Structure 1
Amino acid sequence: MNFKYFFVLLALSWPLCAGANQADRKQSELDALKQRLQTLQQDFRDNQAQRQEAADELRQSERAISSAVRQLRQLDGERQRSQSELQLLTQQADDTSAHIRTQQARLAQTLKGAYQRGQGDALKLILNGADPNQTARDLRYLAHLSHAQQAMIETLRTDLAHLSVLQQQATQKSTELAQLQAASEVEQKKLLVDKRAREQVLQKLSVQIRQQQREIASLKRNERSLTQLVERLNRLMAQQAARDAERARAARQAQQRETQRGPDGQKRHPVAVNTETPVAFRSSKPFSRLKGLLHLPVAGELMNRFGAPREGGGLSWKGLFIRAAQGTAVKAIAAGQVVFSEWLRGFGNLIIVDHGEGYMSLYSNNESLYKQVGDRVQPGDAIAAVGNSGGQPDTGLYFEMRHQSRPVNPLDWMK
């Protein structure tokens, strides 16, 4: 029920002599309402303290998730390198096997020839009465042939041993990669379960706090209405006409505020949509010369304008919130060096890139951070993954650009 309309009708219908008693009753209601308001505000402060504890737990979980995703990304790179090594080992093993087959064929042909000639070839040459010079040349040839056969046998043994080593290395590399991949996936699933549990706690507390905030606001409005009513009732006999006009004006203002405010919880609509993301490019220009040539770090819906007031009033947007799907790659807008890569209260997993000349770009609320402090990045490099860390209700990226620590409008730097 609208208190103001009710009290206007009530005041007009009562006799003027009942004003004092009505003022006393409303004063008692006002005192009870103030007591209720104080209790609710204390509950609100207690819940905020609990939310702080939940946010600390969420920070630990999200930092662990970021580390796990980064490790999986590194493991994937190692797996690709190892896969290349495995392919190389397999090729070497195939080449060695082919070489072994060739050596076996040549050795078999040589042994077959020796068998057909018999085992007494050298003695027959000596005793057959042939020319001594020819006999000597034939004996040297037989010795050379014997040495060649022995060398072929040794080469064959070496190739067989090398082939066995290559096969063992390939098997060991495959087993090791499978074990590491399985262990990492199990750990990530465990961490994701822990993160969801903590997010549920934080969400539950956030819902309760929003409900209490609405109730507190409602109670404050009711308190003001009752206070005004008590004062008006005390002046009822002398200021009846003026009071009626004031109430009518206040009712019109309240109706206008309700009309302007719109339904509670109305879904926010994007102010623009970004479809372009950074691509790799080489440039010797300093960062200040790149104005108007860059792209936003992720494709998605721009939910605010730079410098516009934030919800709740008192603050303005110093960057852009780009709503995007979880896990989407966040790309560096230009070359630079990572100077911060850590969880920060209110910003979740945050990464900051220094571009020189006092210019920095900030990427926050990420699910995971791919780069660490000291890493060099190039335009278009994937440096993080989109998320909603830090208690952000929407999934997306909060992006800022700063020069000498002062925020600048990112859209001024984009194509």
Structure 2
Amino acid sequence: MDKRANDRDRVTGELQEAESGIVEKRIHLKELQRQRDFSQKKKADLDKQLQAKEAELSAESSQLEAQVRTAYTSGQQERIKLLLNQHDPEAIGRLMTYYRYMSEFRGENINAVNNHIAELTELRQQAAAEENRIAGLARARAAELAELNTAQNKRQDLLATLKAKISEEGSQIERLAAEEQDLARLIAELTSILSDYPITSEEPFSGFKGRLTWPVVGTLLHDFGQPRASDQLKWNGVVLAAPRGREIRSIYHGRVVFADWLAGMGLLVIVDHGEGYMTLYGYNETTLKSAGDWVAPGDVIATVGDSGGQQQSGLYFEIRKGTKPVNPRRWVSKQPKTR
């Protein structure tokens, strides 16, 4: 029996490691996607600038071409003839000023064309660099997806092994009971520690009974008090089925006192609301808060997942008064959808 129990614990530890690795890869994938979206937006902006600069260069080039053609057609002799045929000194002065302005204007156009060519060259280089960056991010994302797929396959193998170990022992109830005891010990330890650091509020948590909202929109999968595996164990909270990655929000003001992996719960976040009340959010894909962080109602603290060896994505949600679970349904204003 001890050997089987040790084997089961070993597989559970491997499952924790595998799920933690999957979490890291999903976070990395989201960051890669964020960078890729940013680069694609930057590339689109650069393309717009290129189009605008090309239009300006075309206009400047056309104007300069017309000036050069005019100068070539009239030729330098035309200017000399005009000057020799003028007997009025003031008229000659005006003509000289006109030709000087025309020459300066033509020089300015040449400079403008050269500047636009330089700007276009720089923009094309930036666009090419951004395109290379996007391609690199795409390759990194593909590699990360392949690693994620491998990690998920390993997780499935570990789940199958764990299920087989439990089946061999015929001890699913024992395992669930052990996991429940682990959670109870954790809550007792936190309650003892937090008694020295009480949370005070002008609007205590107890005053919002029946007025809170669910931490995530989902469908009720398991209800508080329902039998779990057998009549010996019951659900201490509710399980809401929801798509992977959906945001999970804190239901009230409080302080995060736990954000880590726990057997049976997967990635778990516990928030202390004062008066001995705590809310628990389990099975998460990612945790977005750390122990010690303060949260307000509606703050995103995690995302929906299937960690802890769950067969489908969802949220495990529980409310405790001290070490005693209480029915979450009595604390919310609306009841969840049922299947």
The CA deviation at 1:292 is 2.5
The CA deviation at 1:174 is 2.4
Alignment of 1:388-407 (within 5 A): 389-393=307-311, 395-402=313-320, 407=325
Name the CA shift for 1:112/1:364 in 2 (closer, same or farther; >3 Å).
same
The CA deviation at 1:180 is 1.6
The CA deviation at 1:290 is 7.6
- What's the counterpart of residue 143 of structure 1? 100
The CA deviation at 1:126 is 4.1
Name the CA shift for 1:185/1:129 in 2 (closer, same or farther; >3 Å).
closer
Deviations 1:223-267 (A, max 9, x none): xxxxxxxxxxxxxxxxxxxxxxxxxxxxxxxxxxxxxxxxxxxxx
From 193, 198, 214, the equivalent of 1:295 is: 214
Q: Does 1:412 align with 2:337?
A: no
Q: Distance in 2 between matches of 1:194 and 1:302?
A: 27
AA partner of residue 76 (structure 1): Q
The answer to whether the Cα contact below 8 Å between 1:334 and 1:355 also exists between their aligned partners in 2 is no
The answer to whether the Cα contact below 8 Å between 2:19 and 2:155 also exists between their aligned partners in 1 is no
Name the CA shift for 1:401/1:168 in 2 (closer, same or farther; >3 Å).
farther
- Bigger shift: residues 52-61 or 343-352: 343-352
The CA deviation at 1:152 is 0.8
Alignment of 1:155-170 (within 5 A): 155-170=112-127
The answer to whether the Cα contact below 8 Å between 2:287 and 2:301 also exists between their aligned partners in 1 is yes
TM-score (norm 1): 0.62
The CA deviation at 1:110 is 1.4
RMSD: 3.3
Alignment of 1:222-261 (within 5 A): none
Report the structure, 1 or 2, having the larger strand content. 2
Q: Does 1:100 align with 2:57?
A: yes
Unaligned stretches of 5+ in structure 2?
175-202, 335-339
The CA deviation at 1:331 is 2.8
Q: Kindly, what percent of the aligned residue pairs are identical? A: 30
Q: Distance in 1 between matches of 2:319 and 2:112?
A: 66
The CA deviation at 1:45 is 2.0
- What's the counterpart of residue 187 of structure 2? none
TM-score (norm 2): 0.74
Report the structure, 1 or 2, having the larger helix content. 1
Deviations 1:246-302 (A, max 9, x none): xxxxxxxxxxxxxxxxxxxxxxxxxxxxxxxxxxxxxxx886548434135141233
- What's the counterpart of residue 270 of structure 1? none
Q: Does 1:364 align with 2:282?
A: yes
Q: Distance in 2 between matches of 1:73 and 1:338?
A: 26
From 260, 269, 278, the equivalent of 1:351 is: 269
Unaligned stretches of 5+ in structure 1?
1-43, 218-284
Q: Distance in 2 between matches of 1:83 and 1:352?
A: 38
Q: Distance in 2 between matches of 1:354 and 1:127?
A: 99
Q: Does 1:57 align with 2:10?
A: no
Secondary structure of the residue aligned to 2:46 is: helix
Q: Distance in 2 between matches of 1:61 and 1:401?
A: 28
